[in-house]
Each structure stands twice: as structure tokens, then as C-alpha cells.
Amino acid sequence: MSTRVLSVDKAEFALSPLLILPPRLELRASGQAATPGWTNAHLEPLFDEDAADTLTSLEFEFVATPPDPGELVPDVLTSLSATHTFKNLPLAATNVVILAKTNQVEIGGIPEPIRTQVTAFPFPNLPDPSLFAAFASPARTDEATGLPPKRQGTGKSVRLSFEEALQNALHDLKAQPGEVQGSDILHTTRVVSITTSAGGFAGLPLTLEVTVEDTTHQLS
């Protein structure tokens, strides 16, 4: 059975890892347990999560599962951390309270830089890249056809718009040298990667990047 950890040291809002699209809002907390052996640390909301977007104050318990009563553990403070991912954005919240056994930590609402990024969504569902592959007869090898190798183009969108990034990638592909034209030539273009990037020394904003690849086919 979960119970409150000894203390909470700090709490902060953050974005989920960039591999997750769309990025989700997280609340992260760190604290101390009285002994080693505590497991399943998590932030337990003391409110209706479905109404989180309308509440001005949110409370969480920082809880974990203690060691078994018969287990011998030393009296050594042990660090714990926990993360809560919001289902609904708490845009109305002006304070968030994390409760532990001996203390509590209170923070304000979502910081403006994070608020700006999470409110840029709803993010459109990314289509399956295979949908962009044209139907064509199997391509012959470059050695057999003498046709140029595959060409690639890359496009970006700081507005996290897939359509914008795709159009920029196709424009970049068109500018690449080596395009072959002809009545017996078919071009197959497919999306080969969808990535995001952010940070660095310059504090670059969250950016969506799409890479497309063009393969030249000679029709039979």
C-alpha cells in the first residue's frame, strides 16, 4: 500500500521527452524516503483529472510503497523522484501543491515558455509514412538502370506543423541535383523520418523535421 514519502524537495513543470509526439505536460518532483527499499514512487492527484483544465489549485500526494514490515533496512535517507503526466492541460491553475509526510512544496502555474509550446497543439495525428509511397513496379538497381541514386530533402517547422515541414522537405528535394525526367521515368517519394529537436547552447525552440526520399524507377 502506498504512503506519503518522508519529504519533498522540489517540483517543476516540464515537457515529455521529445520522442513523444505531441509533447505532453509533466509535473516532476523529487524528495526523500526515510529508508532504502521504497518503490513505485508517484504523484497521486487529489482532484478530478478530467476537470484539471478548469481548476485554479491542484494538490498531489508524493507517495511510494514502503519496504515489507519484516524487511531489515538501514535508517538512511534515500532519494526518490516521480512524474505525473497530465491528461488535460491545467491552464487555469495558479498554484500546485505537492504533499509529503513532513512538508509540502508549492509552485505556481505553468511557466510561459512551456505553456507556449503545449498550447501550440492539438497536434495533428502524424500519418503513416508508408502512405506517401507511390505504387510502382519494383525498382531496378542503380547498376542495372544507370539511374542516379536516391535523393533526399529535409524540411522543418517551428510551429510543429507536419504539413509545413513536408512542403518544405519537398521543396528542398526539388532543389537537389540529379533529377531525371522522361515518359518512362517514375518517381517514388516517401517520408523516411519524422523527428523533433530543441535546446542546445542557443536555446533553440522545439522544431519538427521531416525527411523525404525520392527513388527513380524506369517503367517496364
Task: Tell me: do 141 and 87 sit in the same domain.
Answer: no
Task: Tell me: do 75 and 137 sit in the same domain.
Answer: no
Task: Tell me: do 8 and 77 sit in the same domain.
Answer: yes
Q: Is residue 192, in this structure, part of any structural domain at all?
A: yes
Task: Tell me: do 103 and 139 sit in the same domain.
Answer: no
Number of domains in the chain: 2
Residue 109, C-alpha cell as written in the block: 502555474
Task: Tell me: do 87 and 137 sit in the same domain.
Answer: no
- pLDDT given at position 24: 78
Q: Tally the residues of the chain.
A: 220
Contacts of 41 (CB under 8 A, 6+ apart): 5, 33, 62, 63, 64, 80, 81, 82
Task: Tell me: do 16 and 91 sit in the same domain.
Answer: yes
- pLDDT given at position 133: 44
Q: Is residue 118, in this structure, part of any structural domain at all?
A: no
Q: Is residue 122, in this structure, part of any structural domain at all?
A: no
Long-range contacts of 198-205 (CB under 8 A, 24+ apart): 198/18, 205/117, 205/158
Which among 55, 49, 44, 45 is positioned nearest to 91, based on CA atoms? 55
Task: Tell me: do 105 and 135 sit in the same domain.
Answer: no
- pLDDT given at position 131: 45
pTM above 0.85, yes or no: no
Q: Is residue 72, in this structure, part of any structural domain at all?
A: yes
Task: Tell me: do 72 and 143 sit in the same domain.
Answer: no
Task: Tell me: do 7 and 104 sit in the same domain.
Answer: yes
- pLDDT given at position 146: 55
- pLDDT given at position 45: 95
Report the distance separating Cα 62 and Cα 11, nearest Å. 10
Q: Is residue 123, in this structure, part of any structural domain at all?
A: no
Task: Tell me: do 52 and 88 sit in the same domain.
Answer: yes
Task: Tell me: do 105 and 50 sit in the same domain.
Answer: yes
User: Which domain-ending residue is among 110, 142, 158?
Assistant: 110
Task: Tell me: do 100 and 60 sit in the same domain.
Answer: yes
Domain holding 47, by residue range, is 3-110
**Would the CA dihedral through 121, 90, 15, 107 be positive or negative?**
positive
- Point out the residues of the chain with pLDDT beneath 70: 17-23, 118-149, 180, 182-184, 198-205, 217-220
Q: Which amino acid is at 45?
A: P
Which among 191, 194, 196, 188 is positioned nearest to 212, based on CA atoms? 191
Q: Is residue 116, in this structure, part of any structural domain at all?
A: no
- pLDDT given at position 114: 78
- pLDDT given at position 28: 94
Which among 35, 96, 88 is positioned nearest to 61, based on CA atoms? 96
Q: Is residue 121, in this structure, part of any structural domain at all?
A: no
Q: Is residue 191, in this structure, part of any structural domain at all?
A: yes
